[in-house]
Every structure is written in structure tokens, then in C-alpha cells.
């Protein structure tokens, strides 16, 4: 049985779900994969919790610890480098919410882990958009793995397909419907709703954030596209290289015209390598029934890779919620240790 120490940074929606999932699946993972996953320390902004036994975290998750007592469990004096002792190898799980332009605080957190010989897996897009090149280099130099499935589509296993299943091919294009909120809005508009009605329906169902601008401005799609294409196509593009069209620009007329032609308007992220270089965009496109992503409706997501030797390969589905993201983190950890 291989013991795997876990240090978790971020105890919000995804972090809590990750802890729940690991506790729930601990026995199955022991039996099926021969891995004994153990939480050592959990960090949030208010401090850290040394995990000596599982009961305090189970109490926090179940809400059975009174808030005053719970607050006292988090020690503000302990810093991350102190618990990432060099030599005591394990995996750092990063679930903070970082700035997409600076990558912080996630970038420094992952940098610290890798520099101390710890593998890292993350659900946080910021550090990957701002510092993927640097983090990849450090990981490779130290023989470590940086798992990023949780950030690049989460439960949709697109990154694994691009990196492993299509190894040896030349991926000439990656295109995807990558954001559940905007796809839900466009699907509802295709059924007759206005943009405002569709957005309100998405908010009422908890699909869209109270402030949906990151999604409807096309940024989330562009960022996920970058993470997938940079990894799978070996590129080093930044957010500024992507031509982005916000979903707010879509008119009812455009949706109606597409519908009459048997097409659907989708926010399609696409990075394509052509004779004149690489073209990158996240734009509203009319897709016909022969397009592999035509049937990706509602909150579903999908990605198509075009390759030189394996043709076009499409992956669709996967849950779009904190549990799906937590499951993607767990999958990355298992794949680090079990090959
Ligand atoms: N929610 C989803 O469905 C989903 C899906 C895929 C990916 N993601 C990504 O996963 C990440 C986490 O999402 P979330 O919904 O769990 O966010 P969240 O609920 O806001 O949780 C963020 C957590 O990070 C902690 N944190 C922030 N800065 C920190 C720092 N410097 N040191 C230690 N802890 C720090 C926060 O501490 P406090 O508790 O003290 O505030 C909080 O516990 C985000 O990057 C998000 O984009 C989310």
C-alpha cells in the first residue's frame, strides 16, 4: 500500500467537495489502486488545520461543530512552506480562486509545492494561464507532475484525451463548447427565450453566478481553450492572443436565422494551426447538424480535436459542478501514482 500525503489549499466549494469525495472513496481507492490517501494539512485564508484524525474535518463538513469552535481550529501562524517539508513527498491540491491575469495566489502556492518536491494538482485556472510554462519547466526538471484536469474542463476528460490518447498525432485544431452557462443561455434562446430571460433562468437554477460577466463575456471559454490547446498542441498562447466575442452580443434575429437554416448558435472556442500560423478565437458560430458539437446543448460541454493520423476525435459530457471538479482532482492524483 502506497501512502500519499495530501496538503489541500482552499476549503471552499471545490475543496470541501474534494475532502468529502476522498473520505467517501478512501476504501475503494485502497483496494483498487493500492493508494492510502491521507490529509496532512488543509489551508484557507483564515489559517490551517493539521489533520491528526478525520473527525474534525468530518464535523466541519457535517456542520456539527459550533462556528466559534470551528474558527478556533484554524491556526493562522502556520505557513505553507513549513508543512511542505522537502523529502516528505506528497501532492498539493490547489483549490483557491486566483486572478486570471497575475495567477495569484495560486501561482506562488504551486511554485512552492513543486520547488519542495511535491506534485501538484489544481482546479484553479489563474496560475495555469499566467504561469503554465514556468510551472511545467519546474515540474519536468524535478520529475514531478502538475495535474490540471480540474481547471481545464474538470469532469470532461478532454485534457487526458489530448495529452495521452492522441499522443504521437499532430493536433491541428482544438475546438470546444467549454462553458455550461453560456451554452445553457444560447440553448434557451434557441427555444425562443430572450437573452435576459435565459440568463435569469440560468441564475434561478444556480447555473450562472450572480455576477455572470466572466462567463457571458467569453473569458471562461477563452481560458479553458487556452489550457487545452497550449497543453495538447504544445503552444504558449496568452489570453491576449484570443479574439473573443461576448455572448451578450447575440441578437434574437441571429438565433432565429440560424434556427430556420437548421443550425444552432454556439460560443465556440477554436485554436487552429494553418499555413499562415495559429488562429485563436472564442466566437459565436452557427453550427449545422454535421458538426460534431451540434448536439452539445444546455449545460453540457464538448471538445473536438482534429489530428493528422487519427482524424477528428470528440469528447462530450461530464458534470459541471464542484463535485465534478473534485473528481477530476482525484483522478489526476490517482494517475500520478498508478501508471
Ligand atoms: N465551483 C466549481 O464548480 C468549479 C469547477 C471547476 C473549477 N473551479 C475552480 O476551483 C477553484 C475553487 O473554486 P471554489 O468554487 O471552491 O471557490 P471558493 O468557494 O471561493 O473557495 C476558495 C477557497 O480558497 C481559499 N483561499 C483563497 N486564497 C487563499 C490563500 N491565499 N491561501 C489559502 N487559501 C486561500 C478560500 O479561503 P476562505 O475559505 O478562508 O475564504 C476558500 O476556502 C477556483 O479557481 C474555481 O475557478 C470551480
HEC states along the chain? CEEEEEEEECCCHHHHHHHHHHHHHHHHHHHHHCEEEEEEEEEECCEEEECCCCHHHHHHHHCCCCHHHHHHHCECCCCHHHHCCCCCCEEEEECCCCCCCCCCCHHHHHHHHHHCCCEEEECCHHHHHHHHHHHHHHHHHHCCCEECCCCCCCCCCHHHHHHHHCCCCCEEEEEEECCHHHHHHHHHHHCCCCHHHHHHHHHHCCCCCCCCHHHHCCHHHHHHHHHHHHHHHCCCCCHHHCEECCHHHCCHHHHHHHHHCCCEEEEEEEEEEECCEEEEEEEEEEECCCCCCCCCCCCCCEEEEEECCCCEEEEECCCCCHHHHHHHHHHHHHHHHCC
Task: Quote the pLDDT of residue 56.
Answer: 83
Percent of the chain exceeding pLDDT 90 equals: 85
**Residue 192 neighbours by CB distance under 10 Å:** 12
**Residue 85 neighbours by CB distance under 10 Å:** 14
Task: Quote the pLDDT of residue 127.
Answer: 96
Strand-pair partners of 280: 271
Kindly give the number of the ligand 1 atom that is closest to the alpha carbon of 328. 6
What spacing in Å lies between the alpha carbon of 125 and ligand 1's midpoint?
Answer: 11
* Residues carrying an active site annotation: 224
**In the block, which residue shows the cell 479574439?**
243
Mutate which of 19, 20, 44 for ligand 1 pocket (most atoms within 8 A of beta carbon): 44
Give nearest CA residue, ligand 1 atom 4. Answer: 322
247-272 pLDDT tens trace: 998 999 999 999 999 999 999 999 99
Task: Quote the pLDDT of residue 285.
Answer: 98
Average pLDDT over residues 65-94: 89
Q: Can you tell me the distance from the alpha carbon of 170 to that of 188, in angstroms, rounded to the nearest whole number?
A: 36
Task: Quote the pLDDT of residue 85.
Answer: 80
Task: Quote the pLDDT of residue 209.
Answer: 83
Whether residue 154 is predicted with pLDDT greater than 80 in this model: the reply is: yes
Give nearest CA residue, ligand 1 atom 44. Answer: 97
Tell me which residue of 239, 225, 233, 238 sits closest to 306, measured CA to CA: 233
Task: Quote the pLDDT of residue 67.
Answer: 81
Whether residue 55 is predicted with pLDDT greater than 90 in this model: the reply is: no
183-209 pLDDT tens trace: 999 999 999 999 999 999 999 988 888
Give nearest CA residue, ligand 1 atom 13. Answer: 14
Give nearest CA residue, ligand 1 atom 47. Answer: 124
- Ligand 1 is surrounded, with C-beta below 6 A, by 9-15, 43-46, 95-97, 105, 123-125, 150, 154, 321-322, 325
Amino acid at each position: 500500500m502506497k501512502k500519499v500525503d495530501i496538503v489541500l489549499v482552499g476549503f471552499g466549494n471545490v475543496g470541501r467537495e474534494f475532502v468529502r469525495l476522498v473520505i467517501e472513496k478512501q476504501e475503494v481507492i485502497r483496494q483498487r489502486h493500492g493508494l492510502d490517501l491521507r490529509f496532512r494539512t488543509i489551508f484557507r485564508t483564515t489559517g490551517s488545520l493539521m489533520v491528526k484524525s478525520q473527525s474534525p474535518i468530518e464535523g466541519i463538513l457535517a456542520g456539527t461543530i459550533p462556528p466559534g469552535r470551528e474558527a478556533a481550529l484554524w491556526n493562522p501562524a502556520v505557513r505553507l512552506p513549513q508543512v511542505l517539508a522537502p523529502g516528505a513527498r506528497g501532492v498539493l491540491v490547489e483549490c483557491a480562486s486566483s486572478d486570471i491575469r497575475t495567477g495569484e495566489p495560486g501561482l506562488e502556492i504551486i511554485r512552492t509545492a513543486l520547488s519542495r518536491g511535491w506534485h501538484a494538482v489544481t482546479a484553479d485556472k489563474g496560475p495555469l494561464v499566467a504561469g503554465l510554462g514556468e510551472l511545467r519547466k519546474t515540474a519536468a526538471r524535478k520529475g514531478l507532475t502538475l495535474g490540471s484536469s480540474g481547471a481545464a474542463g474538470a469532469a470532461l476528460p478532454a485534457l487526458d484525451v489530448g495529452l495521452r490518447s492522441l499522443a504521437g498525432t499532430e493536433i491541428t485544431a482544438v475546438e470546444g463548447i467549454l462553458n455550461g452557462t453560456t451554452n445553457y443561455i444560447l440553448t434557451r434562446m434557441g427555444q425562443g427565450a430572450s437573452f435576459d430571460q435565459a440568463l435569469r433562468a440560468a441564475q434561478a437554477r444556480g447555473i450562472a453566478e450572480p455576477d455572470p460577466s466572466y462567463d457571458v463575456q467569453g473569458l471562461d471559454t477563452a481560458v479553458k481553450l487556452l489550457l487545452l490547446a497550449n497543453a495538447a498542441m504544445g503552444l504558449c498562447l496568452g489570453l491576449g492572443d484570443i479574439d473573443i466575442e461576448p455572448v451578450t452580443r447575440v441578437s434574437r434575429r441571429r438565433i432565429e436565422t440560424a434556427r430556420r437554416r437548421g443550425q444552432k448558435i454556439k460560443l465556440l472556442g477554436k485554436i487552429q494551426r494553418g499555413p499562415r500560423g495559429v488562429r485563436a478565437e472564442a466566437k459565436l458560430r452557427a453550427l449545422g447538424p454535421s458538426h460534431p458539437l451540434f448536439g452539445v446543448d444546455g449545460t453540457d460541454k464538448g471538445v473536438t480535436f482534429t489530428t493528422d493520423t487519427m482524424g477528428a476525435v470528440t469528447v462530450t459530457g461530464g458534470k459541471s459542478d464542484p463535485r465534478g471538479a473534485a473528481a477530476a482532482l482525484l483522478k489526476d492524483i490517482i494517475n500520478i501514482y498508478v501508471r
